[in-house]
Amino acid sequence: MAKKAKSTTEKRNLRNGLLFCSPVLIGLAALTLYPMLASLYYSFCNYPMLKPPVWVGATNYRTLIHDPVFYKSLANTAYFAVFATPAGMLTAFLLALLLNQKVKGMAVFRTMFFVPSIVPTVAGSVLWLWLLNSDYGLINTILRLAHLPAPGWMNSPAWSKPALILMSVWGVGGWMLIYLAGLQDVPVDLYEAAEIDGAGPVQRMLHITIPFMSPHLFFTLVMGFIGAAQYFTQAFVMTNGQGGPVDSTRFFSIYLFQNAFMYWKMGYACALAWILFTLILLFTLLLFKTSARYVYYGGER
Give yes or no for a cis peptide into 52 (omega within 30° of 0). Answer: no
Residue 148 within binding range of other proteins, rule CB under 8 A: no
**Coil vs helix vs strand at 55:** strand
Q: Tell the smallest beta-carbon distance from residue 212 to other proteins (Å).
A: 14
Closer residue to other proteins (CB): 131 or 164: 131
The only residue of 61, 79, 83, 109 in contact with other proteins, by rule CB under 8 A = 109
The minimum distance between CB 220 and other proteins, in angstroms, equals: 8
Question: Which residue number, 248 or 253, has a Cβ lying nearer to other proteins?
Answer: 253
Q: Which of 215, 244, 245, 283 binds other proteins (CB under 8 A)?
A: 215
| Residue 119 near other proteins by CB under 8 A | yes
| Sole binder of other proteins in the list 81, 177, 221, 235 (CB under 8 A) | 177
C-alpha to C-alpha distance for 162 and 151, rounded to whole angstroms = 10
Cα angle, residue 216 at apex, residues 105 and 104 outer, rounded to 5°: 10
Would you count residue 292 as binding other proteins (CB under 8 A)? Answer: no
288 binds other proteins (CB under 8 A): no
Q: Which of residues 220-279 bind other proteins (CB under 8 A)?
A: 220, 226, 229-230, 232-233, 236-237, 240-241, 253, 256-257, 260-261, 266, 269-270, 272-274, 276-277
Identified binder of other proteins from the candidate list 130, 263, 294, 296, rule CB under 8 A: 130
Is residue 160 within 8 Å of 250, Cβ to Cβ? no
Q: Which of 58, 90, 115, 286 binds other proteins (CB under 8 A)?
A: 115
Are 53 and 46 within 8 A, CB to CB? yes
Stretch that binds other proteins, among 33-41, 60-68, 186-194, 202-210 (CB under 8 A): 33-41
To other proteins, the closest distance from the beta carbon of 279 in angstroms equals 10
Per CB under 8 A, 62 contacts other proteins: no
Alpha-carbon distance of 154 to 152, in angstroms, equals 6
Non-local CB neighbours of 13 within 8 Å, separated by 6+ positions: none
Q: Tell the smallest beta-carbon distance from residue 133 to other proteins (Å).
A: 8
β partners of residue 299:
none
Q: Any long-range contacts for 59-65 (C-beta under 8 Å, 24+ apart)?
A: 60/267, 60/268, 60/270, 60/271, 61/271, 63/268, 64/268, 64/271, 64/272, 64/275
Q: How far apart are CA 273 and CA 39, in angstroms?
A: 8
The span of 67-75, 76-84, 96-104, 205-213 binding other proteins (CB under 8 A) equals: 96-104
The yes or no reply on residue 26 touching other proteins (CB under 8 A) is yes
> CB-wise, 164 or 256, nearer to other proteins?
256
Find the binding residues for other proteins in span 65-94 (CB under 8 A).
none
Nearer to other proteins, 208 or 280 (CB): 280
Which residues, including other chains, have CB under 8 Å from residue 216's CB and lie 6 or more apart? 178, 179, 181, 182
Radius of gyration of the chain (CA): 25
